Structure 1
Amino acid sequence: MPYLTTEGLVLKKAFATDPFQPSSDSLAAGALETKKIPIDLPTTTYQALYRVVLGPVSPGDVLDVTAAARVTNDAGYVVGVGWHLWLYDYSNPARSAGPWRRISALDGQNCPPDTHHLSIKAACLYPMPDDWPTGHRPVVVLRADAHSTAWQPGDTLTADAGYGQLIVRHWAPP
């Protein structure tokens, strides 16, 4: 069985969102990216919860990512919540979010009304692929989706400020 490892690499830098930064309507950098996750039927309408822009990385470097968040279900019915870690190239010529690469396993759980608060946890060890442009800056994002067959237009889950953080450790050759 193959394993991923940071053996022979050194920790270049760690990046993290600030869990103590006050939430505001502007959702400043480092804060929770969205306060509401729309509930709908598809399972692919992800919203960014946390985002970290890294410094330059190279193919073969390894990203060690840990993320946590919490959502609250006030919808009154069972809502499925899916989440994963994603990456895109901040240095792309269009300066846009994408194309996206999913870097963690798929995860999810139902959040019935009696659960009310659902903790989200994700982690991965991701080796930068051979086709990554040397020196480009990746952006790591914790994304989540809310879906239900009982959804009504305008229904949302609340993304709870102060209950999460995204941490990315960049490992590279010495």
Structure 2
Amino acid sequence: MTYLSPASTTEPTGGTHTTREVTTTALAVSSAPGVAYETLLRLVFPAEPSDILDITARARVTNMTEFPLVAVGYGLWIFDAELPPEDRIWTQIGPQREGSTDPVRTVLAMHTEDVYQVPAEWPEGHRMAVVYRGDAYAPDLDPEAPPVALDVDAAYGSVTIRRWLALP
């Protein structure tokens, strides 16, 4: 497969898609990792088999809870946006990242990026959703305690996708 590369043009052949619409104001804190993933940002866009997606995502959370140490796992996920919610298969792409807040650093800036090739079997004409998700946990949190959450800073979130089309 041949692609029009960034060296040969200044604009991605499939365009640039961006959202700054943060979908939640709070990231629930659980007592164990992987329990309470929340969608931070979601971007739906056209995708075709073998497209190359250059994805950058950013978000920020602030710990105003009583727990000085809160870890946050975050990463990128995809699904076929044309399917009904009950039929969607969520697939994680790129690395799972992690950071934490502590008594000195109460704000956690989260950044991830990945280059992903749309599978050859992707249905033609189906839009893809790229979802930036986070999961917060505090090892000292009593599972029976009242709910606590990190603040998601709406002014600092974004997902940008640069889409490169395969040439025939």
TM-score per shorter chain, which class?
0.7 to 0.9
Q: Tell me the CA shift for residue 104 of structure 1.
A: 1.3
Q: How many equivalent pairs are there? A: 156
1:112 to 95, 102, 111: 102
AA in 2 matched with 1:84: G
Residue-by-residue CA offset, 1:94-134 (whole Å, 9 max, x unaligned): 24583101111010012113201000001000001123112
Runs (5+) with no aligned partner, structure 2: 6-11
Other-structure match for 1:89: 80
Q: Tell me the CA shift for residue 42 of structure 1.
A: 2.9
Q: Tell me the CA shift for residue 37 of structure 1.
A: 0.6
TM-score (norm 1): 0.82
Please say if residues 73 and 113 of structure 1, whose CA atoms lie closer than 8 Å, have aligned partners that are also in contact: no
Other-structure match for 1:78: 69
The percent identity for this pair of structures is 31
| Larger strand fraction of residues | 2
1:159 to 147, 152, 155: 152
Residue-by-residue CA offset, 1:39-81 (whole Å, 9 max, x unaligned): 00232221011111102x2221111100111000111320010
Other-structure match for 1:48: 39
Structure number with larger C-alpha Rg:
2
Residue-by-residue CA offset, 1:120-164 (whole Å, 9 max, x unaligned): 001000001123112210001110000112223311001001112
Other-structure match for 1:135: 125
Please say if residues 78 and 110 of structure 1, whose CA atoms lie closer than 8 Å, have aligned partners that are also in contact: yes
| Larger helix fraction of residues | 2
TM-score (norm 2): 0.85
AA in 2 matched with 1:37: L
Root-mean-square deviation (Å): 2.0
Distance 2:72 2:64 in 1: 14
